[in-house]
A and B are shown apart, each in its own frame.
Chain A
């Protein structure tokens, strides 16, 4: 039932991406709505960036979005590669490699997300 678990989380990740990427779009591309953009102007204005970098919720959502996007994307890559008809042994090794690559990328991304907190502190 391992494949059932993989696929179920693949679908859950898709829903998470839909919601959080939607939030990201609102924050970054509709600054006029003022969602996590307290200062008027562009979403990339220093005041807005500094505000968001200090916000726990934003940091948390970006870590979740990163996890969901990595999981969803790497599962998709795995499906494509498996359709090419590799051997069973290759499939198993490839799955482990994807887990390792995914966890490393997640670690780097999560670190960058948390490190961004220091951006606001200079204010």
Chain B
């Protein structure tokens, strides 16, 4: 039986190498690999690691665009290594570098911890004024399809940091909160089950937050999940301005009545903790 052979491409891969403990400055290392259609940038890096240089540092986990750990600069554009096919960006030279606007742990591994610190600061979780109901929910919190649609797009964020790396304001303003945490603030502010929007509005309206966005919209351009952080930021500006003029009412979260045919759960048991408290 005749087997179909795929066309092979010789790709020169330039990898930015840097070990803060040993190197004074980053340097570029060159590798040549042979690839065929379907190979991702992450596959290319694994090929280099397995066949040429086991010391190349990069991070990955899910290999399917879900965990957000393989973000890097691919031919000058932030993106996910596991989600980017080599032949989609080049047929000859591939340049890989760590995400800008972050410090480097080693080689292609950017330190995302400060980003998660800022994210924690915007309180990205549902908070309710009826604490008893929140702690011991009596029934499901129904949402209408419209209420869900208002924030659904922003829940797709996988915290990869690509938007933070592409943002020119992040590059100039070291205190800028950044597109990802701002988007998550909007996501929870828009959730009909949440009551903490006022506290988040205080945070996002500080000098180094939404009003400092110059609307380059590069964050939305590079986001691998179609989250559109620039849109979230502009919607948040609109929300704050309407409130400033008293044109938007205060929203109060409550337990929504669901469709009549649905069953209410008398008591939702929380799953057991998977780690020691």
Contacts and interface: CB of A to CB of B under 8 A. Distances in A.
Interface residues of B, number: 20
Given A4-B205, A83-B172, 17 more contacts: A1-B201, A1-B240, A3-B206, A3-B207, A3-B209, A3-B211, A5-B244, A7-B237, A7-B241, A8-B241, A8-B244, A8-B245, A79-B212, A82-B207, A85-B173, A85-B174, A91-B207
A83 B212 CA distance: 9
Q: Tell me whether chain B's interface is mostly helix, strand or loop, or mixed.
A: helix
Interface in B108-144: none
B53 interface: no
Interface string B83-115: 000000000000000000000000000000000
Interface in B135-190: 169, 172-175
6 contacts: A1-B205, A5-B244, A7-B237, A7-B241, A11-B241, A83-B169
B254 interface: no
B205 A3 contact: yes
Interface in A1-18: 1, 3-8, 11
Contacts of A1: 201-202, 205, 240, 243-244
A11 B173 CA distance: 21
B186 to A, nearest CB: 15
A82 B208 CA distance: 8
Interface in B188-224: 201-202, 205-209, 211-212
Interface in B233-277: 237, 240-241, 243-245
Contacts of B207: 3, 82, 91
